Structure 1
């Protein structure tokens, strides 16, 4: 090698194309392992082999992805372009095309919001096609002979439907067993609806019931698939949908001829109650009998009335008598009216307005005098009653013990508030209450009941002050 060569040799390892491609593949797989990716599906393709090819993208990047047939068969929804999803899988490369890709083994909608958005999109599409119009819905047969049921062969739904039909009105029930959840459910349900419409060798059902129990939106999603909706629309047999609970609405409910809130409700819609039918027939028979009886009675009455004399001939004599009475009555009424008119004029002539006016004035003055006299009488009565009240008040004051207290006496009561009238009733050390004119005071007895008080030494009487008058 020339030391002055402008492109000297390198110590870097030399790879073949395959070695480098598989080295990159191993590096990517070892570095990332299992990944979870959220994005929007784009360019979804199901190959004849059953594998699914799709792009996972957002607004800045795109990752090619593949889902093998075994994983596709486990899907509960039908992947569509534009659906927001969360996928799990392993990141790898495809050496044959020098590109990396995501091998998906699990795919689910990105929350209920994604499914609801897709559901709303499909609903608008089908509504625009007129599939939800009421004018395309058909009346259900009143009394079907055969009922076809599309549902799972196991579980409570089919048992409830058959039991309810047997209780109400036993008819022939044909069950087409299908899956009601999972990626294959939609295809089986659509096939069952179509199959019932093209049955040979057995009686074709008069009405179909498509039923399933309650569940989440993911569980019921197969009834929102286009293939199921189209099959229900194209059915020549009237169809009742009974999917989930009353609050669960799927697209098949909108295109069905009638929706039932529950599978049991679908059975009740499909057939009437036999006992009620019997009662109705008996009621109609009774009405018919009564109608025939009335008709016969009416005919008999008509035949009988034909033998009776005509009404005009019966009433002719009374009518003549009535005319004679009227002819005599009218002149009498006119004479009576003229007599009263004459008397009224005589009475009116005797009436004099001046005398009436003077009489009214006299009566008015008399009323005024009577009012004044009544007022004076009432006033004197009130004064007498007021004086009586004053006297009664003074008498009440005189009898009140408060006046006695004002004169220097005291009211003695024991601990219970009972009035003490005699000193013998009190014991030494007993507490008493003394009520004076200005309040109450407590006291304790310090002497023995019944002991006379100690006599005080006599003092020479003091000559009363000449200026001080005797109390008595």
Structure 2
């Protein structure tokens, strides 16, 4: 038999035995230790126990404090604090892990990670990346929403569910790693990728971007504190909402974003309004508009009725004008008759100055003056010719026959021209007087009462031929003679012959200076030719 063959002499341990042995060794060697480090993620269970991490730049130790120990802490550990803890090392067999049971906690200053984070924040803030004037307003109702997050977490489901409840919109998702070494680069590429999309292209460009991640420790969220992510968020031309962690978690992207949401669900609520609320608001505004229009009509109708009661009635407005119309309509016939009578009197007075005898005397006077002037002009011309001839005779001795004949011919032409001018002047004067006489005769006919008789009027005379203008005069007359346009009628008698109408050659009765004139109606009222 081979020397090495056979059962092994190494003792065998069960899992619990080896776990207990490790526990005894660790608790025996490290039964009381003081450890300095930075507090990481802190979790308080429902039982009251506290679990947190203690770390430095290379290692992490899990720490636990039981409920009774936690109640005795003067300073509770918070994430990012650098502390000195006192306790003992122990193990947790079911998970094969060791941990530090912390009995006391003393603050030791700001942690290294928090110090580095604060230094980076101040440097980026000095560059103006967190300035309020760089932040853009969010669209009131975006058509497309871009989401930069992980597809495996519950964050994207919460966002989609919240958008579907409030106001369904088109959502584009850019999947990225939300923790680890690749987180910062992928998140920055997602923000830049959305910004490089062409507006109106085949794949629409988002109107707003949401960068979302659930809660976690500062180490889990550290990718959103990287400078590349902060600069990408600050350079985004699309409004950006940061929804990283829970309400108490703060990262540098929150300062560079246009809006910070405490949770991813809150980011969806910030991005879109509530559709039901908008419909309700629209219905309310429509109802208010209808109520306002109805109320305005009612108020204006009431105002119109109030004003109408203050106005006078139509009947009262027309009573005065109607009465004045009646008065003037009663006075109008009398006024017309009175006006006609006044104009008739004025016509009679004017026609009295236009008697044919007077006109004839005027014409005869003008004719006599013309003849007298002509009789004086002829001797004057004869004398002037004799004087000129005598002068020519005196000058004949001094002038040559040819010059004398030319001078005589010139003066003869002057005399002929002067004679023609004198004759033309006499003819023009006679024609002007004739035209004036014709115009006066036409005026006489126009102003005569015979033209008025053609319009339906009549002239009433008594038995002596006097014109009657009053009713009392007609009643007192023994007989009446009424002259119409076509003749004269006597009351109780027949119709007299029609009087001839006046004309430029013959009209009106003649006076004593016209012995050759004959009456046209058998009486003494006719008129012959003026010449």
TM-score norm. by structure 2 comes to: 0.37
Bigger CA radius of gyration: 2
Asked which structure has the greater RCO (Cα within 8 Å, sep 6+), the reply is 1
TM-score norm. by structure 1 comes to: 0.42
